[in-house]
Amino acid sequence: MEIIVLLKQVPDTETVIKIGEDGKSIATSSIKWVINPYDEYAVEAALRLKDSQGANVTILSLGPQRMVESIRAALAMGADKGVLVDDPAAEGSDALGKARVLAAALKQIPHDLIFCGHRAVDDDENQVGIMVAELLDIPHLGLAVTIEMADGLIKISRPIEGAKVQLESPMPALITLGGAHAIWQPRYASLPGIMKAKKKPLEVKKLADLELSPEQVGAAAAKIMVVSLKMPVPRQSGLMISGDTAAKAKELVRLLHEEANVI
Amino acid sequence: MQPGYFPANIIFALIFFAALGFFSFTVYKLYRILRLGQPEDRFDQIGRRLRGVATFVFGQRRVIQEPAGWGHFLIFWGFIIITIGSLETFGVGLYHGFAYWKVIGKPLTAILYLLQDLLCAGVVLALVVSLYRRFVLRPERLRFSDQKAANLDACIIISLILLLVACLFGARGAEYRLTQLEPGRYFPSAAFISVAVSGLFARLSEASLVVWYSFFWWIHTLVILGFLVYVPFSKHLHILGAIPNVFFRRFRPIGELSKMDLEDESVETYGVSKIEEFTWKQLLDLCACTECGRCSENCPAALTGKPLSPKEMIHNLKKHLLAKGKLLTDAKINPEGCAATELKKALAGEVCLTDEIWSCTTCGNCMEHCPVFIEHIPKLVDMRRYLVLMESNFSLEVQTVLRNWETNSNPWGLAFASRGDWAKGLDVQTLAENPEVEYLLYVGCTGSFDTRAKKVTAAMVKLLKQAGVSFGILGAEERCCGETARRLGNEYLFQSMATELTELINGHGVKKIITTCPHCYNTLKNEYPQFGGNWEVLHHSELLHQLLNEGKLKPRRRLDKQITFHDSCYLGRYNNIYEEPREILRSIPGLRLKEMERCRNKSFCCGAGGGRMWMEETLGGASKDQ
Amino acid sequence: MTGVCIIAEFRNGAFRQVSFEIASEGRRLADALGEPLTAIVLGDGVTAEAATLGQYGVKKVYLIDQPELKDYLAEIHVPVLAEILRSVQPKVVLSAASANGKDLSARLAARLGAGLAQDCTELLIENGALKAKRPVYAGKTYAWCAWTNGSYPQMASCRPNVMACSLIDASKSASVETPAITLPAVVKSRIVKVEASETKVDLAEAQVIVSGGRGMKDPKNFALLEELAQLLGGAVGASRPAVDAGWRPHADQVGQTGKVVTPTLYIACGISGAIQHLAGMGSSKFIVAINKDPEAPIFSKADYGVVEDLFQFIPAFIKEVKKLKAACG
């Protein structure tokens, strides 16, 4: 069985975000790059299937050279090989452009299952994985918190508001991962794993290798783009709410509803 | 069958050489088992090693730290005297005319015989007290999981020695009588106890005396030879192992764990998962243990009901070594094909349970109090290295903290860019801003992020400024020293952290470092030289003490309080800093210092070392509650 | 290309609250554009309710009412939506950024070759085109997105509980039309089961966590937190002292050696905020701290702090939350 995991590298979630000079991207000077947590769950889920059913797990990434470090980290966990599509022509792509590149790369790699995080915790676009499924014309099962395989069918459960849904699909299919670290508990790479990972095959491809023309991807082909990044109104940490008990309660509810939009 | 006459002497010679031969063969087999271990150089500073043997073996220095140790002192010296006496006995067994007084003269013989009498009586007394302690008082440290076997072993030994001594006195008593009757014989009357015993033989004829003498002589000799043969198979293997173990004891600071070679690509396994992967010295340790229990008596894990008892661990490792070693050194057995369970046992997991291995706080109490210098902690760390590096076998909390170190260089995973924030408003310069300072104040993770510890850091800054000390900090550039990663067994992570931090510090041309954390202190001082970090490292109590003595700091305000000082394991036992903090406290007017019962090198561990700070305490009670 | 079209979410026989929010937002955008507002609803039993969208300013509802559409399945819903949209040809498409909504929006956008902004918190029309604001980098920053020239439809999914829902006229009904579309014949994936969640939300998955610490004084008092959590659809957590004291099980512990959680809202009640606890919830989007002690370290990490006896404050807070829920339909 061939499982491909789509992997993206993102700044660690504790990173202090600063807006860059162009006003629409972040400053990358003091960033620690890590595997997108949801993609890490995808790697773990793929490796669990590999452990129980036997499979080859390939990591597929789109991005600059620094992604190699994260691909190697996934290889150290137990994945078998990596493919990186690194082409400046793909820069500036919107989600659909990125999905096109990945779909084109996937057409060249035999696949039964494709796993990926449902979103990346940097740009939070929340679409690339599902778009890849549409472009490949295969079913997708999104936001999985459990994954099982039986009788040649892949089954997931996913949470929706107020309910849990179990979905099932034959292969090939694409699964996007939801959940949290405590649910998936991605394995810690052993030292032999880290050593072996250095020697596992990692191919680097260009758009030309994928039979994609530059007009289909990149900034020029994008339908949507970020025009500016703004820091949220600096909330003083510890905005102390004042007044009597009833007034404080009212104010807190108001703030949570109107400012924070969480209730 | 009088000893020394034909045919008794021939029979004796045969028995003697057979016993000796068997004993030598047993020792040889043990030697071969020890040779299964990995190489280690413990042959440096021979002079110092020999002096160590004099102090710790013949002087019994660590043994007598405890009152009960005087019993052992008596038994030990009694044993030596008995051995000296035994040589005469064996001489007599070969030729009846042999006697010491004919070689060293009567005066010296008299002194020797008197000593023998006194010490043998002392041995009897000590053994009776031992029996009383073991079976009536039953102190904690003599408790054992397999109590029956342990008690049986002890009883056999004690009984044999008592029998041996009884027969010795019997023989000597008879001999004294004979001396009255036979010319040409000499038995010093200075040996008054033997003389007193001889009263039992007062009215016997010469012929009966000879029979009694021979009887006691044979029993005594057979017991000694039997003892010789039995010792390697009981816990008294300790007798063979202890002296070499003291000779080969560790000189490197215990705060310096071994550096694994991670560059060697041919290495396939990391850490220790099989007994033969320990070094020969680590295996020798196991043979030196007599299960005195002083390690467990002071172990915070054992005392709070955790699965770890250092004594039991060493015992289990020894049992496994002897069983597996026997199979491995047997040329007739092919280890691959053999189904013996001992060969298949997982060291970390079956011989020692993982819960045991993870319970250790590396406080060092075990090693501090072991009379024969057994090194418990390096064995545990070696097994942790295997669990972490090879199997990724550790709890989720440990995974969390390892990832936090990897990503943000602090155990809480807080943004590394915010590490220097504690210094806001304190007017402290970073080394990047001003490299021309005398000291680097290495703050550490706790001092940078923990609410309470930040106050300590701020206080330290204030004091240093007041004393006019030239110092700087690393600020946001600072990285975690990685000490705990190494204690947890993640040598790979530690080495990358240490390499990075060393480069960073050396890049600023730092020569002297002050730190407030004992763990950072220990690793920067004792372990970073492995990575090219050779600095003068001071704990803040050392520096403050120095500043007080130089008059640069003067405590002025009175503080009318009674306080006590808890000796941190990594400051006290690990680095011998006991007095400086106390003197600083004593210099504060009004402060009354009261010592805890367990203080200085017996200080009770807080329970957070060895990475345990980051693990849940699900077994036993909390160390901090003790 | 003209008009705004919303994809309403219908489940268990009723429109979900967010549908009215996006209808209201759609109305505002349509007014700014001067163009009509339509809606699409797919579901089982929608016919009876569909017209009510008119109360929020929707002029026309395209609906398909069939049992196969009862629960969302991408393979069925998305092709149908795509076909309807291809004939309606709106300029702007709004959907709900709910679990299902985000799922279908992504697939739909790929199918239509459109640009999509997910989880938007603010929308406006600038120069006749949509501009959308959405949180990025775990909410530490906001991105304003715009669609490139001639890129239609402009699709945006809206975060629930954000857009103001404005009832315009309770008497108005939208006109209803059922397009002649057949559901896809070949469907490979299927729904095995849909089960309503048990009331207890798992701590690791919860988007809202109400946590209690030493200040709770007694295990009985956690009932107060459970009530609040239930109201907010969240879970109850605990700090280490509460677990050590045996008031809550270890599974509820949030912190360095407990669970590391990243909810959208974390309410810390009677928790001092030691660094080990912060390590477990510091990445929460919003942190509210309620503590009697104004010096408690947690206040330095909280977005909103209330210095108050939690036994006085929480009941008052619960009362206000209930009021809000009632007001918002």
Q: In a 10 Å sphere around its CB, with 0-12 CB exposed, 13-18 middle and 19+ buried, how is residue C295 labelled? A: exposed
ipTM of this predicted structure: 0.90
Report the alpha-carbon distance of residue B317 to residue B374 in Å, rounded: 13
- How do residues A99-120 score in pLDDT, each as one tens digit? 999 999 999 999 999 999 999 9
C25 touching A, CB under 8 A?
no
Here the CATH number for the domain that contains residue C321 is 3.40.50.1220
Confidence at residue A225, expressed as pLDDT on a 0 to 100 scale: 94
What are phi and psi for residue A146, nearest 5 degrees? Answer: -140, 150
- Please, which pLDDT band fits residue A238 given cuts at 50, 70 and 90? low
Residue C161 sits in the same domain as residue C299: no
d(CA A149, CA A141): 13
The answer to whether residue C22 is domain-embedded is: yes
Mean pLDDT for the stretch of residues B508-534:
96
* pLDDT, position B104: 86
Angle between helices B310-328 and B280-288 (to 10 degrees): 120
Q: C215 and C163, same structural domain? A: no
Q: What is the CATH number of the domain that holds C168?
A: 3.40.50.620
- For B580-590, how does the pLDDT look when each residue is reduced to its tens digit (9 = 90+)? 999 999 999 99
> Which residues does chain B have within 8 Å of residue C260's beta carbon, measured at their own beta carbons?
400
Asked if the structure places residue C195 within a domain, the reply is no
Is A238 a domain residue? no
Q: What's the pLDDT at B236?
A: 84
**Is B106 a residue whose pLDDT tops 90?**
no
Q: Which of C177, C194, C220 is the last residue of a domain?
A: C177
- Residue C296: which domain range? 203-327
Number of A/B CB contacts below 8 angstroms equals 45
Which residues of chain B lie closer than 8 angstroms to C257, CB-CB? Answer: 397, 614-616
Least confident piece of the model among A114-123, A168-177, B185-194, C314-323: B185-194
Which of the four pLDDT bands, split at 50, 70 and 90, describes residue C155?
very high
User: Which positions of C make up the binding site for FAD?
Assistant: 214, 239-240, 253-257, 270-277, 291
Q: What CATH number is associated with residue A162?
A: 3.40.50.620
Q: Is the pLDDT of residue B624 over 70?
A: no
Domain contains A234:
no
Report pLDDT for A236: 56
Q: Mean pLDDT, to the nearest integer, of A22-36?
A: 91
Residue C200: band (very low, low, confident or very high) from pLDDT cuts 50, 70, 90: low
Tell me the nearest-neighbour CA distance from C10 into chain A, angstroms: 12
Residues C212 and C87 in one domain: no
Residue of A nearest to B403 (CA): A188
Residue A245 lies in a domain: no
Domain stop point among C117, C142, C177: C177
Q: Which residues contact B90 (CB under 8 A, 6 or more apart)?
A: B16, B221
Smallest CA–CA distance, residue B479 to chain A, in Å, is 13
8 Å CB contact between A131 and A106: no
The answer to whether position A156 is within a domain reads yes
pLDDT at B458 over 60: yes
Residues of chain A numbered 90-109 and touching chain C (CB < 8 Å): 94-96, 99
Q: Which tens digits make up the pLDDT trace of B260-299?
A: 999 888 888 999 999 999 999 999 999 999 889 999 999 9
Give the distance from residue B17's alpha carbon to the nearest chain A alpha carbon, in angstroms.
53
Q: Given pLDDT bands bounded at 50, 70 and 90, which one contains residue B332? A: confident
At residue B149, the pLDDT reads: 83
| Inside any domain, residue A262 | no
- Per the CB < 8 Å rule, is B397 touching C279? no
How far CA B452 is from CA of B71, B515, C81, C301, in Å, comes to: 48, 16, 58, 15
pLDDT tens-digit series, residues B29-64: 999 999 999 999 999 999 999 999 999 999 999 999
Q: Does some domain include residue C266?
A: yes
Higher-confidence position of A262 and B462 = B462
**Domain match, C222 and C302 both:** yes
Three-state SS string over C199-223 comes to: CCCCCCCCCEEEEECHHHCCHHHHH
B111 pLDDT more than 60: yes
Query: Domain range spanning residue A73?
Result: 2-221
The answer to whether the Cβ–Cβ distance between B417 and A188 falls below 8 Å is no
> How confident is the model over C26-43, as pLDDT tens digits?
999 999 999 999 999 999
Mapping DSSP onto H, E and C, the string for C78-124 reads HHHHHHHHHHHCCCEEEEECCHHHHHHHHHHHHHHCCEEEEEECEEE
Q: Give me the number of domains chain C comprises.
A: 2
Mean pLDDT over B602-616 rounds to 90
* Percentage of the residues of chain B whose pLDDT score is greater than 70: 99
| Residue of A69, A191, A194, A199 to mutate when probing chain B, most B C-beta within 10 A | A191
Query: What is the average pLDDT score of chain B?
Result: 91
Same-domain check for residues C170 and C208: no
pTM: 0.89
pLDDT at A194 over 60: yes
Residue B626 has a pLDDT of 63
- CB-nearest to A227 from C144, C283, C321 is C144
Closest-CA residue to B421 (of B473, B459, B360, B361): B473
Q: Please judge whether B397 and C257 are an interchain contact, meaning their C-beta atoms are less than 8 angstroms apart.
A: yes
Instruction: Nearest by CB to A185, from B262, B396, B413: name it.
Output: B396
Instruction: Indicate whether A233 belongs to any domain.
Output: no
Residue C186, domain member (yes or no): no
Report the pLDDT value the prediction gives residue B157, as an integer from 0 to 100. 86
Residues 186-225, chain C: which have Cβ within 8 Å of A?
A: 188-197, 203-205, 208
Question: What local confidence, expressed as pLDDT, does residue B609 receive?
Answer: 92
Predicted confidence (pLDDT) at residue C139 exceeds the cutoff of 80: no
Sort out which chain C residues have CB atoms less than 8 A from A94's CB and list them. Answer: 115
C139 and C27 belong to one structural domain? yes
Asked whether residue C231 is domain-assigned, the answer is yes
Instruction: Name the nearest CA neighbour of A53 among A148, A176, A142, A184.
Output: A148
pLDDT at A203: 96
Query: Which domains does chain B carry?
Result: 6-37+45-233 (no CATH), 275-389 (1.10.1060), 425-614 (no CATH)
- State the pLDDT confidence band at C329, using cuts at 50, 70 and 90: low
The answer, yes or no, to whether residue A235 has pLDDT greater than 70, is: no
Same-domain check for residues C29 and C93 = yes
* C11 and C138 assigned to the same domain: yes
Query: For chain A, what is the domain count?
Result: 1
Judgement on whether residues C157 and C281 belong to the same structural domain of the protein: no
| Mean pLDDT within B599-626 | 83
Q: Which has more confidence, A233 or B253?
A: B253
Q: Say yes or no for a CB contact (<8 Å) between B415 and A191.
A: no
Same domain, C253 and C317: yes
A44 is a domain residue: yes
Chosen domain end from C177, C195, C216: C177
In a domain, A202, yes or no: yes
B614–C257 C-beta distance less than 8 A: yes
Q: For residues C169 and C27, state if they share a domain.
A: yes
Query: By the CB < 8 Å criterion, does B103 face chain A?
Result: no
Q: Is some CB atom of chain B closer than 8 A to the CB atom of C276?
A: yes
User: Which of A141, A253, A255 lies at the smallest CB-CB distance from C189?
Assistant: A141
